Amino acid sequence: MPRTEIKIGGFGGQGVILSGYIIGRAASIYDNKFATMIQAFGPEARGSYASAQLIISDETISYPYITAPNLMVLMSQEAYTKFASELIAGGTLITEEELVTPNNLRKDVQHFSIPATRLAEELGKKIVLNIVMMGFTSAISNVVHEQAMIEAVKVSVPKGTEELNLKAFQKGYEYGQKILKGKN
């Protein structure tokens, strides 16, 4: 697998950092790849921007900062406004359908969206929207294998919430598979 640079953005409280942690853990521990992660967030704990930047590669990563993300997962309009222009030509943009309205979307970008918040609410807990997004991202991008992501979710979420989070991941993954079948 070539080097993949990923940026996840949203606002504090959406699980942006945990999402990055899960992808990095899945890649490095369960998928035999190298991964780095840098996180950033505004001065407020909740409500301000948050981002996670990851590099996934089959080779050692000597510089941990992304320079040209080819995959973006954006869960808020503010994140879209702030980060979307950084996506490389031909990159993949994944958005939360009901929270992000892509405006001036470049024609060279592959865009996929999912109503992750609504799907999480259907499971009974809006808080798992980030795990729904991770399932969807796994299906769409295949940067990290599905089983590696499942293992990382199991060990990264709070004890007692594993079953709910695995259902959330599966719901997002299945939604992504359905979208991909519709595009073929």
Percentage of the chain with pLDDT > 70? 95
pLDDT digits over 143-184, tens only?
Answer: 999 999 999 999 999 999 999 999 999 999 999 999 998 865
Residue 50 near residue 42, CB atoms below 8 Å: yes
pLDDT digits over 65-101, tens only?
Answer: 999 999 999 999 999 999 999 999 999 999 999 999 9
Residue 180 near residue 141, CB atoms below 8 Å: no
Residue 56 near residue 34, CB atoms below 8 Å: yes
The whole-model pTM stands at 0.93
At residue 131, the 3 state secondary structure works out as helix
* pLDDT greater than 60 at residue 122: yes
Residue 143 near residue 27, CB atoms below 8 Å: yes
Task: Map out the domains of the chain with their CATH numbers.
Answer: 4-183 (3.40.920.10)
| CA distances to 9, 45, 168 from 12, in Å | 9, 6, 20
